[in-house]
Structure 1
């Protein structure tokens, strides 16, 4: 298929060789300012566009930008109408102004443009920074092609190149070398002989330019048709009115397209207004709460200062009491140490007393008179034994009497001592029993006191624990806290009622909107129907006007003027579209002789059997039908005006309902948001109240735990005191028993000694 295949740039605005393959679909990708548009501007040049027209006015000329040196080339490789690969070479003109073209009947090869490839590579290796290729000039290339017997053309200008590539006969015939251009066109054109691609460069430029909009393409096609002498049909329309109507239609269409966005924006605007109102209310509440919080903060600061002063005073009192108690404790400890020291001295003295056997000495002291009497008796015996030969009997009797007297006295004394010892023994036993009974009584009393004290403490602690547990089970929100929750419940109930009212209002408005939308649709259908009827009436009126008042130089006007009665002959068989044509140039030959002639191209027709068509009526009939059509058009116009007015009224009501629905929807969402905020606020407040309630319960539970620990401590103390009392009482009972055993043992020993 004929078409452009490749674009090759040699030493162009890009150094070296740049190849752009255009076979089938092609994408040119790259970042901004990477040269995509610069390469794309080369496409219209291939199809015959002037190079100066593709370069922006802000840049240099085409040859300075794309062909900066005499060794710069732009090669287009394409397939001609004979399915052969050819190439077009663009090079700068020798004078430096303009571009020269040359066709070559062979595909592109880089070796045709450079001097020596091996030398070129060596030169590039030696100078690595340069990417320019050392190429031939256009004249040197022509000589090389001529030596190689390659078919090519002479240097061509832009007009000649365009005539050849497009096979434009008008340009070829106006050129100086017509024969050469015809020959070149047969060899290198993109289209076959008898066909042309005239103006394709304009279309290519319009499509590939940044301004390739449909309006630009339409304007370019109109310019091409006008350049080719094609007359466009004339319309009796004011361009300004048409433009205004188009602008209004586009505005309406654009507005209808943006209608959902506009409704959404209006809804968001209403929501924004509602939110702003809510924020204003919240701001007022915030300012009020802020002032209250500041006041509360100042009061808390004063309270804190007072509490700190009280704390300092309590600390001072506590320090003074602590010092006094420490002094008392120190004095008490000193007294305890002194008392313990005295007790230790007494115990030590008692131990020394026991070590010296004072009881035995006391017993010996009591036996001293007896021992004295025994001594006196022994002395008397000694005196008797020493007195020789004295009167032993008298002495004996005397001695016997003395001994008897002494014995009686001793027996009497011993009996008295025995009685006294027995009495003393009984007294000691009684004292022992009384002491033990008193000790047991005191022990029982102490145990009873200890049990009573423990039971009293335990009862008090259990009572306090039970009271606290009952209080914990019954503790709940305070009256103020419950009032806050009740206020929230009341506000929620009220908000729920407001939501229900807003929802009912919204549903009612939506039903009215739906009903009104049906009325709008019905009115729109009536308007469409009336518009269609009006268009049909206008078309009929226009058609009758055209038949009644044909255009200048039209076939219908000529027939009415030059050939009266044509309706009965030619009018029955002619195509009605030909009657308004102005390019048929009718010529009447022997119109008087052929007035009643019904032959056409040698065929005679019986036209009487053909009914007279509408377009071949008489002028009076046309006037009558035109009047009827105008009356129908007037009625249709009035019907359309009524339908439009009805549609406008229904639409205005619908718009008002939409606004009301929008406001109601906004109000409904506002109430829902208020309800949600109230729930969140209530939950937040309830969390705070629950936290305070849990804190109070935790404090009470801590007190219960303290009471339990106190009970455990009292129980442990009671157990320890009881054990200590048992231990002390057992030791004291043992001491008392041992003491009275010693006392009774001493009395028994005295009694035994007395018996002896």
Structure 2
């Protein structure tokens, strides 16, 4: 962060450029009233947080832009790296007080790292926005159009803008967003950290901002209040669904037991199917063996029957032979 000709506690510009590099830790020291706390509170401005959300105006206290940026040549400059390359991925976010409303900020982005000549000319004169634009053009540094607070926030946090220039802002975000994807509510979170006293109301404001961001609620809604677009019937249905979810959560243990039982039944069914296949295979083997045995028995019975018939034929032949033998013997004696 670079503080270019910013205001001091003596109500006049500093006429200098002060650099604060927080990457490895930075200590802002000095006596009371020199602006240490104010310097710390500048950090959320980079993320698009509004100054009015950090310091409340009143009781004779000036707004942050009016006090910090007393002249058109005063600027708060944030140098950031949006990618791995320190040569091509360095960018500048330059914040100045608006001329038509010194209590508000205007923003411009430059496609380069910090270069002194963009803010101070060769004679040591600090430059306003037009002078910085002219110098940047001469040295070949590209820059964005002048941006309002909501436009700058949409670009730096890579958010979807709900304006007529949404397409153009998306194109600018491709070159200047802090990260490649959207970072909603980062500005609110950082802003709540640097406040002097963080109360529960601040956390409510962050939460309400997050809900409004998600539901696309109007940015002009009252502080810490939600404006819902849902109808009564939609809200009633939501309440019923919520209660149904609560009832479902109560029976979660029962559902878990049922699911466990169903899983066990499935496993037992698989085991039974496996046993059934094994029994079927064994039954087929037994049936085939029984058929083979039956075939062998039939073959043996047939052979036994043939053998018996053969024996009967032989016995009959022998009996006939024995019966004819005496007659032949008698005939032999008579011949002699």
Q: C-alpha distance in 2, partners of 1:82/1:207?
A: 27
Give the C-alpha shift of residue 100 in structure 1: 1.1
- The partner residue of 2:73 within 71, 74, 90 is 71
Name the counterpart of 2:131. 140
Alignment of 1:25-44 (within 5 A): 25-44=25-44
CA contact under 8 A between 2:5 and 2:14: conserved in structure 1? Answer: yes
- The partner residue of 1:552 within 236, 243, 249 is 243
Alignment of 1:397-416 (within 5 A): none
2:101 is the alignment partner of 1:96: yes
Alignment of 1:242-261 (within 5 A): none
CA contact under 8 A between 2:185 and 2:210: conserved in structure 1? Answer: no
Name the counterpart of 1:223. 208
Which has the larger Rg?
A: 1
Gaps of 5+ in 1: 1-5, 121-133, 231-549, 561-566, 576-597, 599-603, 611-756
Name the counterpart of 1:111. 117
Q: C-alpha distance in 2, partners of 1:70/1:137?
A: 5
Give the C-alpha shift of residue 8 in structure 1: 2.4
SS at match of 1:21: coil
CA contact under 8 A between 2:110 and 2:141: conserved in structure 1? Answer: yes
Instruction: Give TM-score, length-normalised by structure 1.
Output: 0.28
Q: 1:31 to 1:158 in 2, by over 3 A?
A: same
Q: C-alpha distance in 2, partners of 1:609/1:91?
A: 75
Q: 1:204 to 1:116 in 2, by over 3 A?
A: same
Give the C-alpha shift of residue 138 in structure 1: 1.0
Summarize deviations over 1:272-330 as a string: whole Å, max 9, x none: xxxxxxxxxxxxxxxxxxxxxxxxxxxxxxxxxxxxxxxxxxxxxxxxxxxxxxxxxxx
2:78 is the alignment partner of 1:87: no
Q: C-alpha distance in 2, partners of 1:574/1:89?
A: 62
Give the C-alpha shift of residue 101 in structure 1: 0.3
Alignment of 1:566-581 (within 5 A): 572-573=258-259
Give the C-alpha shift of residue 30 in structure 1: 2.0
Give the C-alpha shift of residue 574 in structure 1: 7.7
Name the counterpart of 1:178. 166
Q: C-alpha distance in 1, partners of 2:111/2:71?
A: 25
Number of residue pairs aligned between Structure 1 and Structure 2? 231
Name the counterpart of 1:9. 4
Name the counterpart of 1:46. 46
Gaps of 5+ in 2: 216-240, 270-336
SS at match of 1:145: helix
CA contact under 8 A between 2:158 and 2:177: conserved in structure 1? Answer: yes
Q: C-alpha distance in 1, partners of 2:76/2:34?
A: 19
SS at match of 2:172: helix
Point out the structure with the larger helix share: 1
CA contact under 8 A between 1:77 and 1:87: conserved in structure 2? Answer: yes
SS at match of 2:196: coil
Summarize deviations over 1:465-515 as a string: whole Å, max 9, x none: xxxxxxxxxxxxxxxxxxxxxxxxxxxxxxxxxxxxxxxxxxxxxxxxxxx
Alignment of 1:115-514 (within 5 A): 115-117=121-123, 120=124, 134-169=125-160, 172=161, 174-192=162-180, 195-212=181-198, 215=200, 218-219=203-204, 222-228=207-213
Q: 1:202 to 1:574 in 2, by over 3 A?
A: farther
CA contact under 8 A between 2:92 and 2:113: conserved in structure 1? Answer: yes
Q: C-alpha distance in 2, partners of 1:176/1:183?
A: 13
Q: C-alpha distance in 2, partners of 1:568/1:37?
A: 57
Alignment of 1:632-711 (within 5 A): none
Q: C-alpha distance in 1, partners of 2:114/2:126?
A: 14
CA contact under 8 A between 1:47 and 1:201: conserved in structure 2? Answer: yes
CA contact under 8 A between 1:74 and 1:89: conserved in structure 2? Answer: yes
Give the C-alpha shift of residue 217 in structure 1: 6.7
Q: C-alpha distance in 2, partners of 1:569/1:92?
A: 62
Q: 1:207 to 1:63 in 2, by over 3 A?
A: closer
SS at match of 2:182: coil
SS at match of 2:53: helix
Q: C-alpha distance in 2, partners of 1:73/1:569?
A: 63
SS at match of 1:102: strand
Give the C-alpha shift of residue 220 in structure 1: 5.1
